[in-house]
């Protein structure tokens, strides 16, 4: 049985999970014939996702789990006598799926390993593993036989290798329910993870954003190329601006074709779940080596308990500011509260170098500004239930009133700015402060050398309801259309190796933070005290739609810039926009997302 399931897992892993293609779905359902006392035979599987009734030992469940076909833990008992419900009590029942008319007829691939005893390894005396040579064995896709074995062929050509290869093909596109083998009260060992292996000759294409720190991209490409050369894999890294990343991702998903790996921004794994491979096995490997993942990365990547992306990086956003201009204005340090921010903005206005920020459609700098402002005053888009729109509140109005007051005092907002624009304004000596990643400071220190000594960085100010932050988050998803899923997974695991990853963060110079516990003490943030602010904003970080959990709907709200647009409407014409109209427009947009079925 172990050999049988090992083969299925080995051949299946590159093909797992195509739930969006139900009309093409190959449903693999294993049935067994277990020769136990009284000649009891459990019934065949009956649901579309399979009730794989397995009588076996620990390795059977472990292989299933490792291949993504079974439970995260396996309960294994010792030898025992059979009983009337022996087979039925071993498995998780997924028959509810059979109610779906699209899946009501069970497509079956039959196999008949013969076991003389249960819960014994293949080396145990009395246990034999074999394959049924009955002529009825066949593979059925949506009721159409695609492989029928004649009696003669079945007897002469059904080798062990042929069976394993065919079983591997048959498992393509399956989504098994959780399977639990439980025949005893003993301990519950967790199966060892399966480390994916690269296929020599494979080609992997990865799509990601263009970092604002060029040397970080250069190092990432170097590491990927080095791994590719060592493993006989051709690796191509395609970089596009953050603004181009979403339309390119959406186009690939629509076509079910494109890069093998796509860098997912914010909650995109929730948005494109059906196109993302289950990476639970691989993330568990990383957790074992690197510790707990960052809660925001986890919230974005994990969909209904399944890791649809691998945590990759946090790009913390803090305030870069000119200490010389602040000193001239009589402001000794960056404001710690939003009320102090308003006062400072008024003073900096007199220098002709205002504090400035976008309130436009900047995927990084606008979202990471206006969501924390909303939360800091107690406002929220939706309640924790993820259903009830809550933007129309006094807390939201308080946040907008604060923003209007800050703009009237001297804080300058730019609805036309995208993410590069505040960087350019700072380097051109047009502004005194802006919210951004560490790239402004890093480029001054490494590249421009104009204002390095007079640039410092500060975390987000606090509002009446506390300190909040939102950071730019990226994670990597392996796409289901990739012909080399296992190779793609192997490459991502290599790039997340601690030594490799910290080479990258060191060269990035503090622009990127690692998404696991092992990276929390990255020396890049302690060797330069001016970078500490970027580390400080990680802990209070939340996600768009908070306090609701990330979902497809929160992702839709984020990509539509509903919160940023609400503030922009109210801040128009020097901060004199209609608050009620701004809130009403946001409420209408949010209800169209969250309150539809």
Domain boundaries 203-313+473-527, corresponding CATH code: 3.40.190.10
Residues whose CB falls within 8 Å of the CB of residue 471, separated by 6 or more in sequence, listed in order: 296, 314, 315, 316, 317, 368, 537, 538, 541
Instruction: Classify burial at 352, counting beta carbons within 10 Å of its beta carbon; exposed 0-12, middle 13-18, buried 19 or more.
Output: exposed
pLDDT tens digits, residue range 67-117? 333 333 333 333 333 333 333 333 333 333 333 333 333 322 222 222 222
Domain pair 203-313+473-527 / 318-470+540-594, same fold: yes
304, pLDDT greater than 50? yes
Averaged pLDDT, 210-227: 98
Averaged pLDDT, 205-218: 98
User: Which CATH class, in words, describes the domain spanning 318-470+540-594?
Assistant: alpha beta
393, pLDDT greater than 50? yes
**Residue 455 burial (CB count, 10 A):** 19
Domain boundaries defined on the chain: 2-170, 203-313+473-527, 318-470+540-594
301, pLDDT greater than 70? yes
Q: What is the pLDDT of residue 524?
A: 95
pLDDT tens digits, residue range 574-594? 999 999 999 999 999 999 999
Spatial distance between the Cα atoms of 483 and 292, rounded to a whole number of angstroms: 31
Tokens of 106: 């069970």
Q: 254: helix, coil or strand?
A: helix
Q: What is the pLDDT of residue 193?
A: 82
Let me know: does 301 contact 269? Beta carbons within 8 Å.
yes
Q: Which residue has the higher pLDDT, 596 or 175?
A: 596
432, pLDDT greater than 70? yes
As separate numbers, helices (DSSP H) first and strands (DSSP E) second, the chain gives 21, 20
Helix 579-594, helix 394-409: angle, nearest 10: 130
Mean model confidence pLDDT for the chain: 77
Q: Spell out a b/e string for 106-131, using b for 16 or more CB atoms within 10 Å of the CB, else e.
A: bbbbbbebebebbbbeeeeeebeeeb
Q: What is the pLDDT of residue 191?
A: 59
* 597 pLDDT tier (thresholds 50, 70, 90): confident
Q: Calculate the dihedral angle through the C-alpha atoms of 126, 129, 131, 134, rounding to the nearest 10 degrees.
A: 20
Averaged pLDDT, 355-383: 98
Backbone angles phi, psi at 276, to 5 degrees: -105, 130
Instruction: Classify burial at 151, counting beta carbons within 10 Å of its beta carbon; exposed 0-12, middle 13-18, buried 19 or more.
Output: exposed
**Residue 38 burial (CB count, 10 A):** 10
Q: How many Å from the N-terminal Cα to the C-terminal Cα in the chain?
A: 45
441, pLDDT greater than 80? yes
Strands 261-265, 203-209: pairing kind: parallel
167, pLDDT greater than 90? no
Q: What is the secondary structure of 440-478 as a DSSP string?
A: HHHHIIIII-SSSTTEEEE-PPEETTEE-EE-EEEEEEE
335, pLDDT greater than 90? yes
Instruction: Identify the CA nearest to 298 among candidates 279, 272, 317.
Output: 279
Q: Which residue has the higher pLDDT, 161 or 270?
A: 270
Spatial distance between the Cα atoms of 128 and 115, rounded to a whole number of angstroms: 6
* 44 pLDDT tier (thresholds 50, 70, 90): very low
Strand-pairing partners, residue 463, are 466
4, pLDDT greater than 80? no
């Amino acid at each position: 049985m172990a050999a049988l399931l090992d083969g299925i897992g080995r051949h299946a892993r590159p093909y797992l999970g195509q739930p969006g293609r139900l009309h093409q779905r190959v449903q693999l359902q294993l049935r067994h014939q277990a020769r136990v006392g009284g000649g009891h035979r459990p019934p065949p599987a009956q649901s579309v996702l399979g009730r794989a009734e397995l009588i076996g030992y620990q390795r059977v469940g472990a292989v299933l789990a490792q291949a993504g076909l079974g439970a995260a833990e396996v309960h294994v008992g010792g030898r025992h006598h059979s009983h009337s419900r022996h087979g039925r009590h071993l498995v998780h029942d997924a028959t509810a799926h059979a109610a779906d008319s699209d899946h009501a007829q069970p497509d079956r691939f039959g196999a008949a390993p013969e076991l003389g005893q249960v819960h014994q390894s293949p080396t145990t005396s009395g246990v034999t593993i074999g394959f049924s040579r009955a002529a009825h064995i066949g593979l059925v896709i949506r009721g159409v036989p695609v492989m029928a074995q004649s009696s003669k062929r079945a007897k002469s050509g059904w080798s062990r290798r042929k069976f394993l290869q065919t079983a591997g093909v048959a498992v393509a596109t399956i989504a098994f329910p959780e399977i639990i083998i439980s025949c005893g009260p003993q301990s519950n060992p967790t199966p060892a993870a399966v480390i994916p292996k690269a296929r020599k000759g494979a080609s992997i294409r990865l799509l990601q954003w263009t970092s604002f720190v060029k040397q970080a991209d250069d190092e990432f490409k170097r590491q990927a190329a080095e791994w590719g050369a060592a493993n006989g894999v051709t690796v191509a890294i395609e970089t596009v601006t953050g603004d181009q990343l979403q339309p390119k991702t959406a186009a690939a998903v629509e076509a079910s074709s494109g890069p093998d790996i796509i860098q997912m921004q914010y909650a995109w794994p929730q948005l494109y779940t059906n196109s993302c491979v289950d990476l639970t096995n691989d993330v568990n490997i990383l957790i074992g080596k690197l510790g707990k993942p960052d809660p925001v990365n986890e919230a974005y990547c994990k969909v209904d308990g399944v890791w649809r992306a691998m945590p990759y990086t946090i790009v913390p956003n803090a305030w870069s500011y000119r200490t010389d201009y602040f000193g001239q204005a009589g402001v000794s340090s960056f404001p710690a509260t939003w009320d102090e921010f308003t006062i400072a903005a008024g003073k900096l206005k007199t220098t002709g170098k205002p504090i400035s920020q976008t309130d436009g459609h900047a995927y990084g700098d606008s979202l990471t500004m206006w969501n924390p402002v909303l939360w800091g005053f107690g406002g929220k888009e939706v309640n924790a239930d993820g259903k009830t729109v809550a933007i129309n509140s006094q807390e939201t109005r308080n946040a907008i009133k604060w923003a209007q007051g800050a703009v009237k005092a001297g804080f300058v907002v730019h609805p036309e700015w995208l993410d590069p624009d505040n960087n350019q304004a700072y380097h051109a000596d047009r502004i005194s402060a802006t919210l951004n990643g560490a790239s402004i400071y890093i480029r001054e220190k490494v590249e421009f050398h104009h204002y390095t000594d007079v640039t410092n960085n500060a975390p987000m100010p606090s509002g009446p309801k506390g300190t909040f932050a939102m950071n730019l988050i990226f994670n990597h998803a392996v796409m289901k259309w990739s012909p080399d899923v296992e190779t793609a997974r192997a490459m991502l695991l290599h790039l997340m190796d601690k030594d490799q990853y910290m080479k990258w963060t060191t060269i990035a110079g503090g622009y990127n933070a690692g998404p696991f516990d092992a990276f929390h003490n990255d020396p890049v943030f302690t060797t330069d005290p001016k970078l500490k602010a970027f580390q400080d904003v990680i802990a209070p970080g939340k996600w768009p739609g908070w306090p609701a959990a990330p979902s497809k709907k929160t992702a839709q709200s984020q990509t539509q810039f509903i919160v940023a647009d609400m503030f922009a409407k109210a801040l128009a014409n020097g901060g004199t926009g209609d608050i009620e109209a701004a809130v009403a427009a946001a409420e209408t947009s949010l209800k169209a997302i969250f309150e539809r079925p």
